[in-house]
Amino acid sequence: MASEEEIFSLTGPSYLTTIDWNNPDNRKSIAASLVQGVYVHERDHKKNRLGPQALAPPWWESFNFVLNQVLEDEDDHSFFGAVYEFKFQYPYPKYAGGSYPPKYVIAFRGTILKRGNWKQDCKLDRRCIINKLQNSSRFRLGMEATRNIVDKSRLGNIWLAGHSLGSSIALLIGRNMAKTRIHMETYLFNPPFMFPPIERIKNEKLKHGVRFANSVITAGLAVAVNGGHKPKPAQDDPFIVLSYWVPHLFLNPSDLICSEYMGYFEHRESMEKIDFGKIGRLATQHTIGSIVSTALGKDSEPMHLIPSAYLTTNLSPSTNFKEAHGIRQWWKPNLQCKFEEYQFKH
């Protein structure tokens, strides 16, 4: 029997009968719905719901998209991603504010803790934690699909979107494309931040002290390990190159998996204000683990650290972790949200 969350007419943003592509809330809700479409398509696949019994199509057809390609995991043969194509003929009429709908959206689901999915999904969650997701077949297949779509279509724009584990895949793809100077509009819902949740410390002075100490130690170790190397020119520094790509991050302070992104960006700003900007900018590019890997001559780039972002924080109360981490919150109307833009200074 299908769960209520899988049925678009019961839990989806069916109120979006007229879409304003200039409206950030509309764009957010549609991106989240397309990610939900991947989740439901995988459940259709596992439960053999075909034709009229399939529940996934309304999650994309309601917004005039068609399913262009399904991305299937090579190991467990689950559907983990999808390429959607906007079905109106291009060029699409441009709105007064200047925004087009996306020509394509490449979306990735997160972890499904159900039979037939949980083993492979949890294996990839562990790869996230140890900074090895880039070695997975899901990343490789997602990267190939993205490059193919970018090469195929120079008309319209192309979005990346993902939730939880899927947002880590989308983030990795977006990083790789940005390093080639292709900046894709990217929607990352509850992206995992691989660091202890300092943001959960209630005492503000203690929280700031922990962050400050971590920054000083991290920056000091980075200087010690890289001290013998000349700094790279700005045009060759990967973190500076990456700073021109500004993905959209959607966070919930009650979600331990993603909430540390709030502190990551806020702390860097506070370090600038107290004239410790150089330490903050250096610390924001490294983790202690990545520095140790560099010292050992291994690949060390921490994939979850990004220089710039648009942050949307859901301030509406969440009753439990499932709600705080879930994709469903992001298409609810009248969310109480905080918006911040962070641009890396170099």
How is 286-338 classified by DSSP, letter by letter? --HHHHHHHHTTS----TT--S-EEEEEE-S--SSHHHHH-SGGGG-TT--EE
First to last CA, the chain: 54
pLDDT of res. 123: 96
Instruction: Locate 72 and state its tokens.
Output: 């299937």
What residues does each domain of the chain span? Answer: 4-189
**Helix (H) or strand (E) run with residue 108 in it:** strand 102-108
Residue for token pair 């029997």 = 1
Report the predicted TM-score, pTM, of the whole model to 2 decimal places. Answer: 0.89
Per-residue pLDDT, 228: 44
Is the torsion defined by CA of 327, 333, 336, 341 positive or negative?
positive
Note the pLDDT of residue 106: 98
Question: Under DSSP, is residue 158 helix (H, G, I), strand (E, B) or coil?
Answer: strand
pLDDT averaged per 10 residues, the chain (length 346): 91 94 95 98 96 97 97 97 88 62 96 95 94 94 97 83 98 95 96 76 67 64 59 69 96 94 85 62 62 55 89 95 97 94 86
Residue 183's CB is within 10 A of a number of other CB atoms, namely 14
For 129, list phi and psi in degrees, rounded to 5: -60, -40
CA–CA distance, 184 with 14 (Å, rounded to integer): 27
Using CA atoms, how far apart are residues 242 and 24, in angstroms rounded to an integer? 23
The predicted structure's pLDDT at residue 10: 95
Instruction: Identify whether the C-beta of residue 18 lies closer than 8 Å to the C-beta of residue 92.
Output: no
Judge whether 284 and 214 are in contact, CB under 8 Å: no
Pairing of strands 79-86, 65-72: antiparallel
Specify the DSSP class assigned to residue 11. H
Q: Crossing angle of helices 204-226/260-273, nearest 10°?
A: 80
pLDDT at 187: 98
The CA distance from 313 to 331, in Å, is: 13
CA gap 163, 108 in Å, rounded: 7
For residue 96, the model assigns a pLDDT of: 46
Q: What is the pLDDT of residue 237?
A: 80
- The CA-atom distances, in angstroms, between 217 and each of 14, 43, 222, 224, 280 are 50, 46, 9, 10, 11
Alpha-carbon distances, residue 189 vs 98, 128, 211, 334 (angstroms): 24, 15, 24, 18
